[in-house]
Chain A
């Protein structure tokens, strides 16, 4: 047992000799440097929003080292920088959008400081005493090449509110401060010494406030509302903001300004606008917008006759300039074979595109640029989309043109004046202008200014008699005999 043991021991000894001889070469080398660390110290007085680092002279920076983090003022951040380079260029972007670059050997000094704490931190409190939101604020020394970044970043200062902004560390005291409001108007306070007074106020805090209740008595939604005493050059912000004012709804209009007379403008959902000029908000507390000053597009009507062998299930009618087809003008109805039906749409222009969809949406046909002011009847038949005459084969219409009434003077004297105004509204202009509707003459009369179909119609004969036809449908396509 000893011999084998000795032999084994000798073998082990022999085996160990080479390994001992080779030991200096086999010792593991130090791992290569894959990244370096640096401590970023923010003494700028602003929040550090983004940080980039790259070897000096590199073509481009890598990713934002902060990722989703930020470094507050007087805060620090331990940055891991890929690569072995010592000479690193840093690029810092602050909360207000300003940018700063610093080059440093981080092998010699791993502390990288932005901002000099010996330089005073400049701050200002911005107060918005106007009645419009302040969207951007710029502050820069008067001799600066530009006005610098928007100091509000993604924030805004609402009407009557204030915000403290940081301008970073600078020995500059005097700044030009510019406010940009939501209506695009700008206001500048030039040469403000922020070392003496850190509060900058825009607007007149002593200006009186004006309030009035604005009611929508129209039958349409008010989408935007403006009030200004400098219209039409400047209408100011939309006083409804993101809200809409439905029919019957109201809101309190709050304004600030010494002026009593204001111009008010409502924009309805159909883009029609109604303006009241010179409304005295010192004495008026209730204002109603009834839509009477905002003519709606006229209602264009056309009669469709289905001479196809299939039922028409949907009909679309939209202005040639419009992108959407709009609603199905048949609504819940259909247009059976051989049937006639009038469809209508409020269109600003005479020209319209028409699309019909057959039963179960098996097929559709379209025709573009149909002049609805001239075409009263469209016969839907094979080939109608290319036909020269759209009403071919149908008896000629002898009634009033579409969307109107025919007024016939059957009296012994001319009609000297004609009034057509929204029901209940005060009497507007004479719709006959300088002419008369002579004895025995007829006139096709459509809603004035493309307005509502229903109107109070008053015919004043030359002998002084007045014929009143309240709440008359001016689009009825019928004849009204005046006598």
Chain B
């Protein structure tokens, strides 16, 4: 449940970062052999996930992005405000992660530069382990963009649109659970997890996400069709105090599930509110 507990904090991050990572640089990059990558770097407009085959993953959520001496310098949130420097074109990319102490005018300092390349397709193991999580990064950024506007309804509509895999205009338990699994992955990656930990988090987070998704749907599904529509979410948004009472009033078999459900409610509320 730890990843889920951190979900709100992750989503709280990230005011817009100007133009974002240059479009030509976005996407997935590989260090080493395409068949057996030493590391993967996934770039979205305002995020970067570096996933080594061995060692700790690192997730950057850029609060600011600027150009400096031919580098795109993204600065993440948190106490140390980590920086990732990117430079390249559509086929090749250099990255550097300067030490926290290096003054801005001395970048990249002595930080080693990593060379990245494009590959046609991810390896199966990589896709299985990270695919859903990386997809969530893009979803998250789009939700943040939509939810920064004044209209809560637009925010919730964006949420439905992002999560609605089947395209029926409503969110099933599976679709909500997928969203939560992605969040669990992202939280674990942000915490500097190694591949085994990411796999464990995905499994545990998957179970918790499913349970939380079920509880959420049950608590908000007013028409009883087993899915949450944008209208139900919007209605719920205006009646959060009542909905809280409804959720707490039902007997819960597992206390942890209540925590997960409450978190997702907080997540949705924050998305809608920001």
A439 CB-CB contact with B under 8 Å: yes
Interface residues of B in 73-93 (CB under 8 A from A): 78-81
Decide if A464 touches B101 in the complex (CB within 8 Å).
no
The number of residue pairs between A and B whose CB atoms lie closer than 8 Å in the complex comes to 42
Interface residues of A in 111-168 (CB under 8 A from B): none
A417 CB-CB contact with B under 8 Å: yes
Closest to B104 in A: A463
B100 CB-CB contact with A under 8 Å: yes
Interface residues of A in 422-458 (CB under 8 A from B): 432, 434-436, 438-441
Decide if A441 touches B79 in the complex (CB within 8 Å).
yes
Closest to B80 in A: A438
Closest to B100 in A: A436
Decide if B104 touches A464 in the complex (CB within 8 Å).
yes
B225 CB-CB contact with A under 8 Å: no
Please give the number of chain A residues whose Cβ is less than 8 angstroms from any Cβ of chain B in the complex: 17
Interface of A, secondary structure class, is: loop
Shortest CB-to-CB span from A409 to chain B, Å, is 8
Decide if A460 touches B103 in the complex (CB within 8 Å).
yes
**In the complex, A417 Cα to B79 Cα: how many Å?**
15
Chain A residues whose CB sits within 8 angstroms of the CB of B102 once the complex forms: 416, 462
Decide if A416 touches B80 in the complex (CB within 8 Å).
no
Chain A residues whose CB sits within 8 angstroms of the CB of B80 once the complex forms: 414, 436, 438-439
B105 CB-CB contact with A under 8 Å: yes
Shortest CB-to-CB span from A467 to chain B, Å, is 14
Chain A residues whose CB sits within 8 angstroms of the CB of B105 once the complex forms: 464
Decide if A417 touches B81 in the complex (CB within 8 Å).
no
Closest to B83 in A: A462
Q: Which listed residue, A417, A439, A440, A463, touches B101 by the CB 8 Å rule?
A: A417
Decide if A440 touches B103 in the complex (CB within 8 Å).
no
Shortest CB-to-CB span from A416 to chain B, Å, is 5
The winner among A414, A417, A462 for most chain B CB atoms within 10 A is A462
Decide if B101 touches A438 in the complex (CB within 8 Å).
no
Closest to A417 in B: B101
Shortest CB-to-CB span from B69 to chain A, Å, is 15
Chain B residues whose CB sits within 8 angstroms of the CB of A462 once the complex forms: 81, 100-104
Contact status of A414 and B100, CB under 8 A, knowing A438-B78, A438-B79: yes
Chain B residues whose CB sits within 8 angstroms of the CB of A441 once the complex forms: 79
Chain B residues whose CB sits within 8 angstroms of the CB of A435 once the complex forms: 100-101
**In the complex, A113 Cα to B137 Cα: how many Å?**
115
Chain B residues whose CB sits within 8 angstroms of the CB of A440 once the complex forms: 79
Chain B residues whose CB sits within 8 angstroms of the CB of A463 once the complex forms: 103-104
Shortest CB-to-CB span from B264 to chain A, Å, is 27
**In the complex, A417 Cα to B102 Cα: how many Å?**
9
Chain A residues whose CB sits within 8 angstroms of the CB of B100 once the complex forms: 414, 416, 435-436, 438, 462
Closest to B107 in A: A462
Decide if A439 touches B78 in the complex (CB within 8 Å).
yes
Decide if A439 touches B103 in the complex (CB within 8 Å).
no
Decide if A416 touches B103 in the complex (CB within 8 Å).
yes
Decide if B104 touches A414 in the complex (CB within 8 Å).
no
Decide if B101 touches A436 in the complex (CB within 8 Å).
yes
Chain A residues whose CB sits within 8 angstroms of the CB of B78 once the complex forms: 438-439
A345 CB-CB contact with B under 8 Å: no
A173 CB-CB contact with B under 8 Å: no
Chain B residues whose CB sits within 8 angstroms of the CB of A464 once the complex forms: 103-105
Closest to A460 in B: B103
**In the complex, A412 Cα to B64 Cα: how many Å?**
11
Decide if B103 touches A414 in the complex (CB within 8 Å).
no
Shortest CB-to-CB span from B243 to chain A, Å, is 33
Closest to A437 in B: B79
Interface residues of A in 388-426 (CB under 8 A from B): 412-414, 416-417
**In the complex, A462 Cα to B81 Cα: how many Å?**
10
Interface residues of B in 97-119 (CB under 8 A from A): 100-105
Using A438-B81, A463-B103, A464-B103 as known contacts, list a sample of 11 further A-B pairs with CB atoms less than 8 Å apart, ordered by residue number in A: A413-B81, A414-B79, A416-B103, A434-B101, A436-B100, A438-B78, A439-B81, A462-B102, A462-B103, A462-B104, A464-B104
30 A-B pairs, CB-CB below 8 angstroms? A414-B80, A414-B100, A416-B101, A416-B102, A416-B103, A417-B103, A434-B101, A435-B100, A435-B101, A436-B80, A436-B100, A436-B101, A438-B78, A438-B79, A438-B80, A438-B81, A439-B78, A439-B79, A439-B80, A439-B81, A440-B79, A460-B103, A462-B81, A462-B100, A462-B102, A462-B103, A462-B104, A463-B103, A463-B104, A464-B104
**Which 7 pairs between the two chains have the least Cβ-Cβ distance?**
A438-B79, A436-B100, A416-B101, A438-B80, A463-B104, A441-B79, A439-B79
